[in-house]
Amino acid sequence: MPTDTPAPAPALAEEVERLLAAGRAAALALYRSDADSRRQFVRETAALLGQRLDSLLDANLRDLHAAGELPSAMRDRLRLDAQRVAGMARDAAAIAELPEVVGAIVDRRQMPNGLVVERQRVPLGLIGIIYEARPNVTIDAAVLALRAGNAVVLRGGSEAAHTNAKLAEILRDALRLSSLPPDAVQTPRLRDRALVDALVGRAGGLDLAIPRGGTALIEAVSRAARVPVIQHYQGVCHLYVDGSADLAMAATVAVNAKAQRPGVCNAMEALLVDSAIAGRAVPVLVDALRTAGVEVRGCPRTLALVGDRAVAAADDDYGREFLELRCLCAVVDGVSGAVEHIGRYGSHHTEAIVAADLEVAETFVRSIDASCVAVNASTRFNDGGCLGLGAEIGISTTKLHAYGPMGLEALTAVRFVVRGQGQVRT
């Protein structure tokens, strides 16, 4: 039997109990709230973001100063400007317009004894969102979770502390303006790293914890958690070009999948080419990628076809999430070779095929276990907006509850409601 989580320090334990008690009460009020109040909250948030731009940018400057030397990518994620805040407000406002999910009837059937059985969407309850120094997540996550009737505890990265405090103030004021309890959005007072472990480690506390960030964050939260966690792990996404593929389409899709935004989880990390057309296809595809600035790391069969236009792939380039303008290129034997390669190196995120032969495409779809399988389309479409969810809180690689982009529906539970005329069980 594993040892239990060590008891947190008294101040931490007290803070966790306070957050959970206040959050639980707010969650109950949200559970019973009407759609109009929640919609109003989202609109008020969008409006306040505009009205409080100056003080928000001031707070952000303080964070940027305090952070000192940061890797430029991190600094860029932390930084707000008028345009970015306007974008946050616009994204929030769009969430107000999405169809209501709370109360929706998923299905209804009448049983032979006359009982009417419905399955109905209800809020999940109290959600903890643990993330890094990306202020936009504070608004995104809160607005989406609350629109679906949930209360949240937000724990963002320390580097964004001043910005997040301002954003939390906006969210709580927007709740007040909509006659909803401000404690539906809480941020811990203590900045102690151990707080996250104590919060997610309290069995029966949160209804769900969502870590949004790198692998280290996800693993730390998962390890400490005694509540359900939805993980948003890395995407090692493959694109398989079948022998039947239109080669021009394959090149366009491959370049888009890798180069349109190389640093994201749904970017292509490996191109697999059917050996039946490799002699013709590999040079064309490699050149198209190179023209887009991509360094191709080739398997031996690839190298034999393109020489020094590709770099020899190292062992750990297979199954690697490059997140930059680099990718693997490997020759495989038909769809079964592609399926085998993906089974070995894929991460259940996004897998794509380009094929004119739709029977081959269906074999691929049936054989691949991933949150999103794309036929004749870029891997980059595995995204809540592109798939019609309106917005997303992340892309789940956990199969339970949500697999793929999580929109409003994924932030609800489905319960049973039974209506009778006095029926009893015999």
Pick between residue 5 and residue 47 the one whose CB is nearest to its own copies. Answer: 5
The answer to whether 103 and 121 have CB atoms below 8 angstroms apart is: yes
Q: Which CB, 63 or 132, lies closer to its own copies?
A: 132
How far apart CA 416 and CA 120 sit, in angstroms, is: 6
- Candidates 280, 291, 343, 359; binder of its own copies (CB under 8 A) is 343
CB of 302 to its own copies, least distance (A): 23
Should residue 37 be labelled a site residue for its own copies when binding is judged by CB under 8 A? no
Our CB check for its own copies shows the closer of 132 and 207 to be 207
Backbone torsion region of residue 150, taken as left when φ is above 0, otherwise alpha when ψ lies between -120 and 50, otherwise beta: beta
Measured distance CA(97)–CA(144) in Å, rounded: 12
Report, in Å, the least distance between residue 405 CB and its own copies: 7
Q: Which of 130, 327, 100, 91 is nearest to 217 (CA)?
A: 130
Q: Name which of residues 126 to 185 contact its own copies (CB under 8 A).
A: none
230 or 278, CB closer to its own copies? 230
Closer by beta carbon to its own copies, 177 or else 414:
414
Residue identified by tokens 């794309």 is: 374
Q: Is 422 in the site for its own copies (CB under 8 A)?
A: yes
Q: How far is the CB of 368 from its own copies (least distance, A)?
A: 9
Site for its own copies in 277-306 (CB under 8 A): none
Q: Scan residues 259-278 and list those touching its own copies (CB under 8 A).
A: 260
Q: Is 13 in the site for its own copies (CB under 8 A)?
A: no
Match 């959050």 to its residue by tokens.
23
Strand partners of residue 131? 212
Kindly tell me which of 151 and 174 has the beta carbon lying closer to its own copies: 151
Taking the C-alpha atoms of residue 120 and residue 415, their distance in angstroms, rounded to an integer, is 5
Provide the mask over 357-396, with x wherever binding to its own copies is found by CB under 8 A and - wherever it is not.
Answer: ----x---xxx-xxxxxxxxxx-xxx---xxx--------
Using the minimum distance from each CB to its own copies, give the nearer residue, 303 or 372.
372
Among 26, 59, 67, 230, which residue interacts with its own copies (rule: CB under 8 A)? Answer: 230
Which of residues 39, 62, 226, 290 is near its own copies by CB under 8 A?
A: 226
Residue indicated by tokens 């997040």: 164
Instruction: Report residue 22: phi and psi, to 5°.
Output: -65, -40
Kind and range of the H or E element at 95?
helix 82-97
Is residue 355 close enough to count as binding its own copies by CB under 8 A?
Answer: no
Q: Which helix (H) or strand (E) holds 189?
A: none
328 versus 353: smaller Cβ distance to its own copies: 353
- The residues in 392-421 that bind its own copies, with binding defined as CB under 8 A, are 398-401, 403-405, 413-421
Cβ 374 to its own copies shortest distance, Å: 4
Tell which one of 117, 165, 217, 292 touches its own copies (CB under 8 A). 117
Number of neighbours of residue 9 by Cβ within 10 angstroms? 14
220 binds its own copies (CB under 8 A): yes
- Give min distance, CB of 268 to its own copies, in A: 11
Chain length of the chain: 426
Token pair listed for 409:
């529906």
Among 37, 252, 325, 390, the residue binding its own copies under the rule CB under 8 A is 252
Q: Which CB atom, from 10 or from 204, has the smaller least distance to its own copies?
A: 204
CB nearer its own copies, residue 174 or residue 345: 345
x/- track of binding to its own copies for residues 186-215 (CB under 8 A): --------x--x---x-x---xx-------
DSSP SS3 for 300: helix
Q: Contact at 8 Å (CB) between 140 and 93?
A: no
Q: Which of 4, 54, 308, 316: binder of its own copies (CB under 8 A)?
A: 4
- N-terminal to C-terminal alpha carbon distance within the chain: 42
Give the full edge-to-edge strand order of the sheet including 151-155. 185-186, 151-155, 126-131, 208-212
Q: Under DSSP, is residue 91 helix (H, G, I), strand (E, B) or coil?
A: helix
Find the binder of its own copies among 45, 244, 256, 302 (CB under 8 A): 256
Is residue 391 helix, strand or coil? coil
In the complex, minimum distance from the CB of residue 133 to its own copies, in angstroms, rounded to a whole number: 20
Q: Cα separation of 38 and 40, whole Å?
A: 5
What is the rounded distance in angstroms from the CA atom of residue 170 to the CA atom of residue 158? 19
Q: Which two tokens stand for residue 121?
A: 């969407």
